[in-house]
């Protein structure tokens, strides 16, 4: 098991407070209306807290922060299936994705290579992958400068 991050634990505890407060309110009302004992009220609260403690190892990953790369598709290369002007479909990593040309970028023609710049939900924002220039001499970069 991975060591517990204190920020993740704090987030988990803070998000458990509302339902614990709701339980206490319900138990207070049940004591008032039906006369349940303080002992039963205390036992139910303790069991509720134990439930949260026992579930934390199973739920911890859901409360952890996001990795630095927000979407695993960013930076991937693909091929436009349709004309992306502004939306269509593209093949990226062997899967068909809904794609949208990034704002300010030229449309991408079918069959052209593209690069994923961002992702919004299940739609990838892409730009056309600039073709390598054949007239460059070996040892120069795309901008024409020597390495």
What pLDDT sits at residue 64?
Answer: 80
- Pick the more confident residue, 103 or 66: 103
> pLDDT: is 3 or 49 the higher one?
49
**Does 109 have pLDDT greater than 80?**
yes
% of residues, the chain, pLDDT over 90: 63
**Planar angle of CA 48, 52, 54, nearest 5 degrees:** 110
- Once rounded to an integer, what is the mean pLDDT over residues 93-108? 92
- pLDDT tens digits, one per residue of 22-78: 999 999 999 999 999 999 999 999 999 999 999 999 998 888 866 555 778 889 999
| Cβ(117)–Cβ(126) below 8 Å | yes
Q: Which CATH number fits domain 77-128: 2.40.50.140, 2.40.100.20, 1.10.530.10, 3.40.50.10330?
A: 2.40.50.140
What are phi and psi for residue 50, nearest 5 degrees? -60, -40
- DSSP-derived secondary structure letter, 86: S
Task: Please answer whether residues 84 and 37 qualify as being in contact, where contact means their C-beta atoms are separated by less than 8 angstroms.
Answer: no
The mean pLDDT value for 90-104 works out to 93
**Which pLDDT does position 131 carry in this prediction?**
76
Give domain limits for the chain.
Answer: 6-63, 77-128
Mean pLDDT of all residues belonging to the chain: 85
> Quick check: helix, strand or coil at residue 21?
helix
pLDDT (0 to 100) of residue 140? 47
The pLDDT score that the predictor gives to residue 143 is 47
Name the pTM for this structure.
Answer: 0.46
Q: 35-59: string of b/e by CB count within 10 Å (b at 16+)?
A: eeeeeebeebeeeeeeeeeeebeee
Predicted local distance difference test score (pLDDT) of residue 62: 83
């Amino acid at each position: 098991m991975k060591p517990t991050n204190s920020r993740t634990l704090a987030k988990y505890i803070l998000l458990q407070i509302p339902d614990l407060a709701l339980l206490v309110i319900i138990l207070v009302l049940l004591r008032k209306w039906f006369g349940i004992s303080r002992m039963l009220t205390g036992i139910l609260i303790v069991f509720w807290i134990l439930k949260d403690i026992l579930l934390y190892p199973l739920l911890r990953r859901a409360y952890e922060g996001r990795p630095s790369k927000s979407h695993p598709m960013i930076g991937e290369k693909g091929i436009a299936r349709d004309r992306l002007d502004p939306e269509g479909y593209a093949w990226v990593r062997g899967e068909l994705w809904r794609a949208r040309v990034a704002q300010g970028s030229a449309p991408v023609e079918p069959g052209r290579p593209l690069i994923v710049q961002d992702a919004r939900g299940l739609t990838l924002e892409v730009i056309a992958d600039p073709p390598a220039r054949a007239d460059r001499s070996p040892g120069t970069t795309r901008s024409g400068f020597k390495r």
